[in-house]
Structure 1
Amino acid sequence: MLSYGVGRLDNERQKNSERAKIALKVSGVGAQLENHIRSAFSETEGIAQLLSSDGFISSTHLRSMAQSAIDSVPYIRHVVLAPNDIVSDVYPLDGNESVVRLDYRTLADQYPLLQKAQLSRSALIAGPLSLYQGGRALIYRRPVFLSGHTGRDLYWGSISVVADIDRLLLAGGINANDELALALRGHDGLGEAGDIIHGDPALFQGQPVLVSVNIPGGSWQLAGQPIAGWPSISLLDSSLFIMALGGTLLLSLFALQVSVSHRLIRRRNRELWQEITERQSITSSLVQSEDRFRALFERSPDPIWIVGPDRVINLANSAALQALGFDREAFQGITVLDISPEFQADGQRSEDKVKVVLEQLKNEGSLRFEWLHKRADGSVFPAEVTLCALQLAHEHVTYAIVRDISERKKAKQELERLAHFDSVTNLPNRVFFYKSLTQAIERATEANTSLAVLILDLDGFKLVNDSLGHPMGDLLLQQATHRFSDAVRPAGIVARLGGDEFAFILYDLHSAADAIPVVQTLLQALHQSFDLQGTAALVTASIGVAMGPQHGVTAQGLLTQADTAMYAAKESGRNDYRFYEAQMTTLIQARVSLERALRRALEHNEFEIWYQPKLDLATGALDGVEALIRWRNPELGLVSPADFIPLAERTGLIIPIGEWVLDEVCSQARRWRESGCFSQRIAVNVAVLQIERSDFVEAVRQALQRHGLTPQALEIEVTESLVMERQELAQDVLGRLQAMGLKVAVDDFGTGYSSLAYLKDLPIDNLKIDRTFISDLPHGAGYIAITRAIIDLGHALGFTVTAEGIETPEQLAFLQGAGCDNGQGYLISRPMPANQFEAWLEGELPTGAARIR
């Protein structure tokens, strides 16, 4: 019975040990999932902080910070801003257009959780949900509050981060686990009360290991068990049962021996041969029992040893000898302290800690703990140790089972590393940088010194990434990391915030001037091209600098100001740096106001299309018009295109504005054709972003069909920068347009570095000479030569050549003499609304034609 009881207890220990192993693995999956959730949704915390402190965020900032988050965490689908719970901005916009202006208050399945986040003033995770624009995802709802003038916080609205649930679970180790059967429940963070999120619901009805996964605003419950089910464990699998059985047999044999001795005394006349036979039988049984015990002891895959009262290891199996690197002869007389380093992981001396452990074992009977062991070669490894106190042959011994947990420790360290370091560059990530900056500000304040925060954005990286591919983009980031690290060591640290954005902290500065040499070194570090497996690539940088504590005493404040300064450097021409100045915030606020007005302009129909005639310079006949957008703001009046077109391109509004222009021009062309007023081509300018981020060819096709026009009604004008910087894209898009029957023109020609030899292979029809060359004609010798060369070579390659910006009779006479085909400018006619152009056609054309002949 004693052997059976010990065996059952050991069976329970083995079952508990197996559950503990699975619990560690399930906990690891849970921790990894928590880490990915925390990493995914903390990436956008900067947007919330900026909104709380400034009350607004520009689309430029939003696009940069959201793109940074998406680059760092690829399972983020998009980021949504919803002031007053109505969606105003989505990044990226592609595929999410239907979400803009969505009122969360109309969504009965989503709004209650958003109200809960507002009332609790904390973020929460909703879902998984079916998205309004299609698909299934998790939604991180983060309420944003502003400080009101009365001291009370005012609810601004919310930021939502939408993450692909399946990719998140895959990254968290749930969708790709070959060892464990896993299931997850807790829809909307309701824990065990929530609906199933992933896996088989039946798993929760068995005997799984249950782990709580903490998420913003609640928790999920993760269930796990071995994929093949729990193993069955018999008494014969118990080493303690075998030991107890052997001990019991030994005691039984001893009792039997005493009994036999008494019987021999009472029965002295028993024959000697019978006594010899019985003794032989007893000896044989004893040997067999000991052999079975040793076989089971040796068969255990875990290191096992038995320690006597003097701490000497009396018996150890082969697994123990192998784990410690000893042969059996060298292991004789080894003590517990001989296989322990001088100090344990917590800094305590092993000798002192052994006394504490043995005293605790004496009181409790069994223990489980971690212990550092030392191998014969002196190397140290961590192990999980299970101790049991036993009484054998009137002697107190300790039975020890040891499991090496080095791999488990490494896995935990790797999880910690992934949570705080960028996987591409191995630099600290945004989370680690934010913590480091907070600590650095505290130290600088205590020491009465300054520090500098630098935000560096690579100019031209997107072109490298798009043209050569993401692997080459990653290689460039890695090479740049080495250059940046050399530039700031040992006086600072460098981190990658995401995408092509890096951040730096420079310590122990006395003034802003101390930061300038490092900033200049960083810019110079990019002057040498990068070798991307045989392809040379050159990028520059824009750097923003904020000083602490002069510009701020919080990490978020300094990051925001450095980011603002970086955008100022980028707008000044790039490959430059700027220190933060208070007026930068004022300029940003003005730009934000203009951006908001620009958004309203599209909704309130404030845009107009004006038309500028283009004449044949040889005959004076009208040869089409160019459509030009104008913005008539109720408060600002007529806003210059030079002010709002670049803003529209930076914010992405150029795409919906461009679609409106295309539709309005087609509508006007249809009306003119029906009235017989005008039937020639109308040229429409197209921004690079329209071609890069939308199916522009299809948009043109649909606009023509919608208004019943043939392709001969339009000419598409693209910039020289598109033709040269995005050559493959230009070849594809322009070729498809030309194949439809549209004319294609290259606008502002001559301002870049175009090669006419390259242009001859492109599907284009018309070159438009930039107005900067026309302005000094016919007096500037250099411009005369350039203009003649463009006209002559353009004709040689089969292009029509058009001059823009003709303002004087002298310019017109020169261009006619040089053989330029077409011209437009104030001398011929200023741009004008459609009704004025109709009047010009009826009354002014003869005068204009006569003037240019």
Structure 2
Amino acid sequence: MTTFRFDVPVNNDHVAILSDVNRSFKADSEEYRLLLVDDEVNALTSLYELLRDRGFQLTVSLNGGEAISHLATQSFDLMLLDLGLEDIDGHDVMAYIGERNIDTDVIVISGKTDIDSAIGALRGGAHDYVRKPYSHEEVLNTVSNALKQRALARANRTMADQLQNSEKMYRYLVDSSPDIIYTLNSESHFTFVNDRTCQLLGYTREELIGQHYSKVVVEADLERAHRVFNERRADERASRNVELRVKCGVHRNKARRFNTDVVTISLNATGMHAPGRQSRQARFMGTYGVARDVTERKQAEELIYHQAYHDPLTDLPNRTLFKDRLGLAMIQAKRCDRELAVMFIDLDRFKLVNDNLGHVMGDELLQQVAARLKECLRESDTLARLGGDEFTVVLPELRTLDDAHVTAEKVLERLHRPFNLDGHEVHISASIGIAVYPRDGQSIDELLRNADIAMYQVKDQGKNGSMFYDPAMQDLSHQKVALEQSLRKALEREEFEIHYQPQVDTMSGAVIGAEALLRWNHPSRGVVPPAEFIPFAEEHGLMLPITDWMIGALCRDMSQWSGIGPAGFKLSVNLSPQYLGRADFLDRLQNNLLCHAVQPGQIEVDITENVCLRDPQHAIEQLNKLAALGISVAIDDFGTGYSSLAYLHRFPVRTIKIDHSFVREIHDAAGHYPVVLAIISIARGLRLNLIAEGVETDIQARYLHANGCLVMQGHLFYRPMPIARFIETLRTQA
């Protein structure tokens, strides 16, 4: 590249003429690159001096070859070119630019004055033609116009590129949108739909374009759709979140997670308008809308609604829905002056099935019960599950009270039939209480409460039956409420105490252990039998705090006879299954032992076989923790439940106890009592300790002793006694 710097003075007469051009031109000339080509040095110098102080980057060439070399290696915005070059003609230079699509504008500066030369230059691609000799302002104006036109063209190209990219971006966004996007014309025909519309609804674009919107809208929603798809407003008042159901085509995406021929959409629409002939008028062109598929949301809402008002296990109405339907039935009965009945059904022996076969089988039983109950009812009746094994029924429009009795008997008969649970044949029954509106209550809660009272009356009288509510039952219910209240206050008032019944070695007659028995000294009723209040406490969740108190009291008592009892003395404690199920039961027990300096080996925990059957794995873990601590385990009432020899191997059992119900059957010392003999043989074969409970006669004692049971407990030897007398017994023996 040849670059010249010429110091040639400019004619002062031109200064004033060019001042205005300079001011407007210089600001726009920054960063422009100009190529000056002329084989006359003076002409090239004059042109260079004219342009050099106006912010251009100037490059000069004295011949066409050098100019082509510059064009091949650099970029120029503008070239001022003389046509009459010695080596290469200026037309050839422009041809070179055209052939290679070089982005450079050309201003021809030539001494040729004929019109053909100018026309030829312009046809060859020149932007303008300036004849020599030229005035400075003419050149500057021509350069300025060329550069401004170039800048404008560049801006137009940039804008066009931006518009094209913007259109691509927005089309991509529209087609990639998870929502339906569409436009309708003024006749409500589709003029545009995005890809999501086709994917979601299963139509091709050709099937929708030009079609009326009613092609895809469910008929029941057409009236609402008419308002939305013909929306003419264009402000914030336009339609928002209107739900419509839309029919799917045959090409619907099979990968959708739900299977339906109808999709629910939430639609937003606004009108499109074009300016009218008058300034204040706008011509309606159609509707623009965006819709979102809310089918899964609607299904989720329906599922949530269903779950909120139905029992998840049996799919029956739950308490909330049952009360709602009962309320409506009561309003209808009052309006028609009719009676209705509310039945409260509680399954008998369900807990036994649940404990022995597990919760999975218990759930299966509840589902089968629900199915059978439905078979006993009319379509107008309402069956609900309140929870657990409790069901309720509304029998509206009773003709006579006998209708309710007949239904109850039908329920009892159906439930009396055996149930098959994974190969197990199970028999249950039900206790049914019935309350009648309006005689037994004017409110929902009152009817349910009185039906519940009647149901418990059936249970108290042996279960497996039905009974109408009677006001006299209130007294019995109040007694139970009073018992519960008294039982809750018994701990605060220190009304509980522990009695001890010694266990005797019949070979020596020595007391070698004892069983701890809980007693309740009621302030007005006296001593309440354990059989009366312990099941009640377990049912009402009071056994846990009572057991906490009992363990603390036992440890305090044991610290009093420490050193008095014989070696190997063990105290048997019957712990509630609810207590053994607690995660922290071992920590509570261990803390009490440490607090009162009681050795774990002095404690033997009695469990029933049902504890093992309810959740064998959990029972194994809990009992192994006891064994690891040094506490031995005994199975109480052995043989009365679902006995399994496998449990004696799997559980860390040290002792089994013959239940008093088997001992009571012994009436002849020389008789044959196979169950007792079998239990003795099991204990002997497994090398387990054996204790007979409830021994009350000498005949029983002699029979047991003769057949190998040497440790006994019962009234024949000692009755349960308070701590003071028990300690005195130990001292006497010592």
TM bucket, shorter chain: 0.5 to 0.7
**1:544–1:564 Cα contact (<8 Å) kept:** no
Distance 1:826 1:364, change over 3 A: closer
Q: Distance in 2 between matches of 1:720 and 1:473?
A: 19
Instruction: Give the secondary structure class of the aligned counterpart of 2:715.
Output: coil
Q: Which structure would you say has the larger RCO, counting Cα contacts within 8 Å and 6 or more residues apart?
A: 1
Matched, 1:370 2:242: yes
Q: Compute the displacement of 1:516 (Å).
A: 1.3
Is 2:387 the counterpart of 1:387? no
In structure 1, the partner of 2:421 is: 530
Give the conservation status (yes or no) of the 8 Å contact 2:192–2:209.
Answer: no
* Pairing 1:610–2:499 present: yes
The CA deviation at 1:771 is: 1.9
How far did residue 821 of structure 1 move?
0.6
Task: Say if 2:189 is the partner of 1:313.
Answer: yes
Name the counterpart of 1:492: 381
Compared CA separation, residues 697 and 460, structure 1 to 2 (3 A): farther
Q: 1:704 is matched with which residue?
A: 593
Query: Identity of paired residues, percent?
Result: 31
Q: Select the residue among 397, 400, 405 that pairs with 2:285.
A: 397
Q: Is the CA contact (8 Å cut-off) linking 2:435 and 2:448 kept in structure 1?
A: no
Q: Is the 8 A contact 2:380 2:396 kept in 1?
A: yes
Q: Which residue of the partner structure matches residue 664 of structure 2?
A: 775
CA distance in 2, matches of 1:715, 1:530: 36
Match 1:454 to one of 314, 326, 344: 344
Matches within 5 A, 1:670-709: 670-674=559-563, 680-693=569-582, 695-709=584-598
**Secondary structure in 2 aligned to 1:819?**
coil
Counterpart contact for 1:800–1:821, Cα < 8 Å: no
8 A Cα contact 1:803 1:824, kept in partner? yes
Question: Do the aligned partners of residues 840 and 338 (structure 1) sit closer, same or farther apart at CA in structure 2, a change above 3 Å counting?
Answer: closer
Is 1:520 the counterpart of 2:412? The answer is yes
Distance 2:630 2:228 in 1: 89
- Larger CA Rg, structure 1 vs 2: 2
Q: State which of 752, 765, 769 in structure 1 corresponds to 2:654.
A: 765
Q: In 1, Cα distance between the equivalents of 2:694 and 2:355? A: 37
Kept in 1: contact 2:430–2:464 (CA 8 A): yes
Match of 1:506 in 2: 395
Report how far residue 809 of structure 1 moved. Answer: 2.7
Q: What is the aligned partner in structure 1 of residue 153 from structure 2? A: none
C-alpha contact (below 8 Å) 1:341/1:350 kept by paired residues: no
Task: Determine the structure 1 residue equivalent to 2:57.
Answer: none
Mapped partners of 1:842, 1:296: distance in 2: 99
Structure 2: which amino acid aligns with 1:506? L
* 1:338 CA displacement: 6.1
Distance verdict in 2 for CA 1:753–1:782, change over 3 Å: farther
1:415 Cα deviation from its structure 2 partner: 4.3
Counterpart amino acid of 1:817?
A
Q: Is the 8 A contact 2:356 2:614 kept in 1?
A: no
**Cα shift at 1:389:** 5.3
C-alpha RMSD of the superposition: 4.5
1:722 aligns with one of 586, 611, 633 = 611
Q: CA deviation at 1:513?
A: 1.1
Cα displacement string for residues 617-661 of structure 1 (whole angstroms, at most 9, x for unaligned residues)? 233233222222222223222222222222222233333322333
**Alpha-carbon distance in structure 2 between the residues aligned to 1:747 and 1:775:** 16
Instruction: Give the conservation status (yes or no) of the 8 Å contact 1:307–1:397.
Output: yes
1:624 paired to 2:624: no
User: Structure 1 residues 687, 387: CA separation in 2 closer, same or farther (over 3 Å shift)?
Assistant: closer
Relative to structure 1, is the Cα distance of residues 742 and 373 closer, same or farther in structure 2, using a 3 angstrom cutoff? closer
Q: CA–CA distance in 1 between the matches of 2:623 and 2:298?
A: 58
How far is the alpha carbon of 1:435 from its aligned partner? 1.2
Q: Cα distance, 1:726 vs. partner?
A: 4.5
Code of the residue aligned with 1:666 in structure 2: it is C
User: d(CA) in 2 for partners of 1:445 and 1:783?
Assistant: 68
Q: Which residue of 1 aligns with 2:66?
A: none
Output the CA distance in 1 between the equivalents of 2:448 and 2:304.
27
State TM-score, norm by structure 1: 0.55
Query: How has the CA–CA distance of structure 1 residues 781 and 563 changed in structure 2, closer, same or farther, with 3 Å as cutoff?
Result: farther
Consecutive unaligned residues of structure 1, counting only runs of 5 or more, are 1-284, 847-853
Q: Where in structure 2 are the equivalents of 1:186-205 lying within 5 Å?
A: none
Name the CA distance, whole Å, in 2 between partners of 1:306 and 1:544. 64
Deviations 1:533-581 (A, max 9, x none): xx85858464543333143232222333344445555666666655544
Distance in 2 separating the partners of 1:597 and 1:449? 38
3-state SS in 1 of match to 2:633: strand
- Conservation of the 8 A alpha-carbon contact between 2:669 and 2:700: no
Gapped regions of structure 2 (runs ≥ 5)? 1-156, 251-260, 278-282
Counterpart CA distance in 2 for 1:803 and 1:729 is: 28
Distance 2:398 2:671 in 1: 50
Secondary structure of the equivalent of 2:419? coil
**Closer, same or farther in 2 for the Cα pair 1:820/1:449, shift >3 Å?**
same
Displacement of 1:519 in angstroms is 2.2
